[in-house]
Amino acid sequence: MADVEGVNVELQEVAEESALDKIISSMMWATLLLLIAYLVQKFLMPSENKTQVRTITIKKVPPQDMTIETLSRYDGRHGLGICLALKGTIFDVTSKPQFYGPGGGYSLFAGRECSRALAKSSFESEDIESRELDDLDVDEKEALERWFETFSGKYPLVGKLIEAGGEGTKPATTEKDENETKEEENKEEEEKKEEENKEEEK
């Protein structure tokens, strides 16, 4: 009889240990799952506190001609907007502060006439500060033309770059510009001749 009771006690202890092991195992799994869920939420799901959307009001730069000195104030640091000049034409790039604003990849060009630097794909201060274009080679002139077309189609035109005395700067010319100018002059001459012929016929 004592043997039977001893066996029963042992069986009961084994059952209790097994139940305790199951509880501990379940608690460990539950803790592990909670930890995984926390890590997923922290690193993979955006937090409302961290992703507060800032409303940025972009002021459009009013149409105007500028001197180099005036243009230099439109570098994104004075609350006036961001402008740059290309071939003597000023563009408003305020809509892309991530590129042209302070700290942006192209911020060196903000508030400057950057034809030479863009034509040469240069970030060197000597090219950014220089307005000399006569020594550009054919490839650089073509690159400048492509940049100008890109800016013309993408950003609002503000005005022209002018000298301090008020006269407009001579815009950088490419071979394409010169050909277009000649075509326009020829067209004007032809129209003038046609008008003269019509008057003679009358």
Average pLDDT of span 8-33: 67
Average pLDDT of span 166-170: 50
Residue 16 has a pLDDT of 62
Q: How confident is the model at residue 11 (pLDDT cuts 50, 70, 90)?
A: low
**Tell me: the pLDDT tens digits for 100-156?**
999 999 999 999 999 999 999 999 999 998 989 999 999 999 999 999 999 999 999
Residue 9 has a pLDDT of 54
Contacts of 130 (CB under 8 A, 6+ apart): 116
> Would you say 37 and 51 are in contact if contact means Cβ atoms under 8 Å apart?
no
Model confidence at 83: pLDDT above 80: yes
Q: How confident is the model at residue 173 (pLDDT cuts 50, 70, 90)?
A: very low
Model confidence at 86: pLDDT above 80: yes
Residue 30 has a pLDDT of 74
Residue 170 has a pLDDT of 45
Average pLDDT of span 162-186: 58
Residue 145 has a pLDDT of 97
Whole-prediction pTM value?
0.55
Model confidence at 7: pLDDT above 60: no
Model confidence at 181: pLDDT above 80: no
Give the residue among 14, 36, 17 at the shortest CA–CA distance from 25. Answer: 17
Percent of the chain with pLDDT over 90: 46
Residue 184 has a pLDDT of 64
Per the listing, tokens 């020594």 go with 135
Contacts of 110 (CB under 8 A, 6+ apart): 74, 75, 76, 82, 83, 84, 93, 100, 101, 104
Residue 33 has a pLDDT of 76
Average pLDDT of span 60-78: 93
CA–CA separation, 146 vs 138, rounded Å? 12
> Would you say 89 and 173 are in contact if contact means Cβ atoms under 8 Å apart?
no
